[in-house]
């Protein structure tokens, strides 16, 4: 260190210490006041989203182009198969239309009309995922400009995907129900026993998440449907979450717990539907 002149030399240790202090400070600030730093998050999101949108459009285009080159014979075979399938389905549809009238009548009778089926929905594309590869969070390409708000429910394939946690002008962040910090109040379909569906990324490797707080006396069996319950203040009632398996007593002996197989395939999710009705604005369910 032969150059201790008047002007101070910035050593790497100084930079390092400075950065560590900033980090620790930010951690404490964001832990204590979560909302204080949300403009920063929004700004960063607004900066990256246009680029991510571009990338996902390009990659979508490429995979589309590649599909054109797939085998022609395969397409012809598929066409034949599909045509016969359509005929079958047409017949089936006639029967179903008839049954739907019946169902509607029963629903009116039972006052169990699923709210979300009639609500306005927006389709959105997933443009980026959690950098560590987990499926617990992702960003979609619709935001405030499309009328998306925090706490709106996100669906795909008829099942619950998660909930909006952050919204920017043209993007929104979704926390899925399999995330470790997610918990959804649910009920079993035939019996209406309540439970809590908790995310569990580790167990999701085997395709399950946790169901907790099932009443000891509840009559629940494997493959019962779990829907979102009427008690929840964020999730609309009556959305299918998944099917329950492996019901057993909790170690605390106070209630039962189980595994749940979500209906949504989180690994291969590409597009989602956002229900534009918020739970708090829902009438007739209070």
CA distances from 147 to 27, 41, 203, 276 (A): 32, 19, 34, 8
* Distance in Å, CB of 139 to another protein, minimum: 7
Of 131 and 251, the one with the shorter C-beta distance to another protein is 131
Q: For residues 278 and 286, what is the distance between their CA atoms, to the nearest angstrom?
A: 13
Of 43 and 216, the one with the shorter C-beta distance to another protein is 43
* Distance in Å, CB of 128 to another protein, minimum: 4
Of 226 and 264, the one with the shorter C-beta distance to another protein is 264
Q: For residues 274 and 171, what is the distance between their CA atoms, to the nearest angstrom?
A: 12
141 closest CA partner among 120, 161, 163, 169: 169
* Distance in Å, CB of 178 to another protein, minimum: 13
Of 187 and 198, the one with the shorter C-beta distance to another protein is 198
Tokens of 80: 């034949």
Q: For residues 235 and 155, what is the distance between their CA atoms, to the nearest angstrom?
A: 11
Q: For residues 152 and 165, what is the distance between their CA atoms, to the nearest angstrom?
A: 8
Q: Please give the residue ranges that form the binding site for another protein (CB under 8 A).
A: 1, 9-12, 15-16, 19-20, 22-27, 29-31, 37, 40-41, 44-45, 48, 51-52, 55-56, 59, 127-133, 137, 139, 173, 181, 202, 205, 267
* Distance in Å, CB of 75 to another protein, minimum: 25
CA distances from 251 to 212, 213, 246, 247 (A): 11, 12, 14, 12
Of 33 and 221, the one with the shorter C-beta distance to another protein is 33
* Distance in Å, CB of 64 to another protein, minimum: 14
Of 128 and 170, the one with the shorter C-beta distance to another protein is 128
Of 41 and 107, the one with the shorter C-beta distance to another protein is 41
Contact 211, 248 (CB under 8 A): no
Q: 168-204: b or e for each residue (b if 16 or more CB lie within 10 Å)?
A: bebbbbbbbbbbeebbbbbbbbeeebbbbbbbbeeeb
* Distance in Å, CB of 37 to another protein, minimum: 5
Q: For residues 164 and 171, what is the distance between their CA atoms, to the nearest angstrom?
A: 10
Tokens of 33: 């006041």
* Distance in Å, CB of 5 to another protein, minimum: 12
């Amino acid at each position: 260190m032969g150059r201790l002149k008047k002007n101070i030399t910035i050593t790497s240790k100084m930079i390092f210490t400075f950065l560590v202090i900033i980090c620790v400070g930010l951690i404490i600030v964001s832990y204590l006041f979560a909302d204080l730093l949300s403009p920063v998050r929004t700004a960063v999101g607004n900066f990256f989203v246009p680029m991510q949108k571009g990338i996902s459009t390009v990659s979508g285009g490429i995979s589309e182009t590649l599909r054109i080159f797939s085998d022609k014979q395969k397409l012809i075979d598929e066409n034949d198969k599909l045509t016969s399938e359509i005929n079958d389905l047409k017949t089936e549809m006639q029967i179903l239309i008839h049954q739907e009238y019946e169902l509607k009548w029963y629903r009116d009778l039972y006052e169990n009309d699923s709210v979300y089926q009639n609500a306005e929905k927006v389709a959105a594309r997933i443009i980026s995922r959690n950098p560590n590869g987990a499926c617990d969070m992702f960003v979609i390409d619709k935001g405030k400009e499309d009328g998306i708000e925090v706490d709106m429910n996100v669906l795909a394939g008829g099942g619950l995907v998660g909930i909006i946690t952050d919204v920017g002008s043209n993007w929104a962040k979704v926390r899925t129900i399999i995330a470790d910090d997610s918990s959804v109040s649910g009920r079993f379909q035939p019996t209406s026993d309540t439970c809590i569906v908790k995310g569990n990324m580790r167990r999701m490797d085997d395709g399950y998440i946790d169901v907790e707080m099932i009443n000891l006396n509840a009559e629940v069996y494997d493959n019962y449907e779990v829907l979102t319950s009427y008690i929840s203040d964020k999730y609309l009632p009556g959305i299918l979450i998944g099917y329950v398996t492996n019901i057993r007593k909790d170690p605390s002996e106070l209630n039962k717990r189980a595994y749940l197989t979500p209906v949504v395939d989180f690994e291969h999710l590409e597009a989602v539907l956002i229900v534009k009705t918020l739970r708090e604005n829902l009438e007739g369910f209070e």
